[in-house]
Structure 1
């Protein structure tokens, strides 16, 4: 008989089954947390519906995806439609007459490499000689501060639930994984064609002690940011474990990024009841359908949210 293989102690997962009563109690305690009550402006139902009219910015919007992102993923060539990272957002903005550039960068490379790819992508998409508004994250900040492209002009950067001050979940995972096992994971990713430089750069130590002190804001660029937090997810949700880890260390979060870490530049507010994928319109169709049957009102529409971002940029003359 083969010996029973068991993961290292730090990898053992302890499952707990929560009753409805316990879940409700956890939710109540979470929202009594002073770190939640002291949040900036909360945006709970401001983006529930799409308005009839929105103002159109003068200059293009560049959508820059985050870690593990892509522009369009094709699993079977041209046989079936590709999967869009910005699910319906690009099409909806274009339908309103807004010029949109969708960038793509290596999904797990270092911030430096991703920033270089971002700048090159803007050039290839026709950005040379033009002014643009970025909706992106840490890569965009590095590009603005260090690469200083002079063949196109960056007017603004809007970030949405970006870990500007690092992620305590990245801290936790890198601390929990044994070094030799981490090397195996990195080796497997390299064999699949992925780089791994991004993971260690997302720790709170790297962002607070290395990245942020060296990446200064450009005074000619306007910086805006949004955060998000969701209710404590149920035990079967992919967000349950990371949400709990981050909540214990940083407070309110969307399952991957805390509200505290999302602050940068002018903070526009906190999206309430939205997880990290919901921000880019990746809605759980089963949960949404069940909610419709139960008569729950949908309080966040990602399409309305991004239209509001562009509307504000237009209002500011961008």
Structure 2
């Protein structure tokens, strides 16, 4: 028995409406998925930059993929080669007006040496920081830095590279490769942590800390994640180099440059992602392993949003 035409039309319209609502729901969610209360500040690591000629980002495609769902993102530019304390002071100068213009605080996300850099900035101006997140961060030092010499020749080459990076990115900072390497050694990192202890548990080499830290009277949330593989993609020309440096770290799981335990800061979101040190910032040019690093940044922005940050 056939239904009357008007009933069939009504059912068809209802079906179309339901499908339309279902198809729009993810889009509506995506529109505000990464929209945090305070802006996100991305902090690059050793040899890093914000972007080259405004075209090629250190955090490859990460800013765009955060902003497209509502986040406000700033990309810091600090010295490519210098101590974490010097870089942290430079970061404070940059983030202060950003915080002032956006509710008084920022969410710092630092990769590699960007993590101790962010920790220093949070220690210097805890009133301006809502959270600090470490991505493959050198929080307890790396044996790769321990194994490197600090010869004047090596330092001169590194400083020259740093100044070249500054020219290409349009940002000029004082470079000091020896200070940079010393900051990243096990001893140098321990010294930094004695001054800026928040989020780092020094009770053992692989101890984890807690999320909320009281920094000079201000509650700041600390997070971290890292990869645990050096070789993740045969097409990535950097991977063989990371396999070589990984050998310097020994038996500890690592991302090719930083041991998993060294990367721990605050609440550890994950430490077994199929990523190496370059994959963690979606380099080179998005060639990566099984883990999608961009998705991790987007998920974390949503995490910060749900925390009211």
TM-score (norm 2): 0.71
Question: Quick one: distance in 1 between partners of 2:230 and 2:138?
Answer: 19
140, 148, 152: which one aligns with 1:183: 152
**2:10 matched residue in structure 1:** none
1:188 to 1:121, Cα distance in 2 relative to 1, 3 A? same
Q: Tell me the number of residue pairs that the alignment of Structure 1 and Structure 2 aligns.
A: 241
CA offsets 1:110-156 (integer angstroms, 9 cap, x no match)? 112111111111134464562211112101111222x2265xx2111
| Cα contact 1:134–1:158 (8 A) shared by 2 | yes
Question: Quick one: distance in 2 between partners of 1:317 and 1:190?
Answer: 41
CA offsets 1:266-310 (integer angstroms, 9 cap, x no match)? 11111422111111111467x77xxxxxxxxx6321221110010
| Cα contact 1:228–1:258 (8 A) shared by 2 | no
**2:195 matched residue in structure 1:** 214
**2:47 matched residue in structure 1:** 68
Q: How does 1:75-90 map to 2 (within 5 A)?
A: 82-90=55-63
Does residue 98 in structure 1 map to residue 71 in structure 2? yes
131, 145, 155: which one aligns with 2:130: 155
**1:31 matched residue in structure 2:** none
Does residue 142 in structure 1 map to residue 111 in structure 2? no
The alignment yields a C-alpha RMSD, in angstroms, of: 2.6
| Cα contact 1:232–1:243 (8 A) shared by 2 | no
Question: Quick one: distance in 2 between partners of 1:313 and 1:125?
Answer: 18
| Cα contact 1:61–1:100 (8 A) shared by 2 | yes
Does residue 195 in structure 1 map to residue 164 in structure 2? no
Secondary structure at the aligned position of 2:224 is classed as strand
Unaligned runs of 5+ in 1: 1-50, 75-80, 289-297
TM-score (norm 1): 0.69
**1:41 matched residue in structure 2:** none
1:191 to 1:84, Cα distance in 2 relative to 1, 3 A? closer
| Cα contact 1:224–1:265 (8 A) shared by 2 | yes
Question: Quick one: distance in 2 between partners of 1:119 and 1:89?
Answer: 22
Question: Quick one: distance in 2 between partners of 1:228 and 1:188?
Answer: 29
1:216 to 1:245, Cα distance in 2 relative to 1, 3 A? closer
Secondary structure at the aligned position of 1:256 is classed as coil
Secondary structure at the aligned position of 1:239 is classed as helix
| Cα contact 1:279–1:302 (8 A) shared by 2 | yes
Moved more, 85-94 or 231-240: 231-240
Secondary structure at the aligned position of 1:155 is classed as strand
| Cα contact 1:55–1:315 (8 A) shared by 2 | no
Asked which structure has the greater CA Rg, the reply is 2
Q: How does 1:1-318 map to 2 (within 5 A)?
A: 53=30, 54-74=33-53, 82-125=55-98, 127-128=100-101, 130-136=104-110, 137-145=115-123, 147-148=124-125, 150=127, 153-174=128-149, 182-190=151-159, 193=163, 194-196=175-177, 197-208=179-190, 210-217=191-198, 219=214, 220-230=219-229, 237-248=240-251, 251-283=252-284, 299-318=290-309
Secondary structure at the aligned position of 1:184 is classed as helix
Q: More relative contact order in 1 or in 2 (CA 8 Å, sep 6+)?
A: 1
1:52 to 1:277, Cα distance in 2 relative to 1, 3 A? farther
Secondary structure at the aligned position of 2:148 is classed as helix
Question: Quick one: distance in 1 between partners of 2:122 and 2:285?
Answer: 35
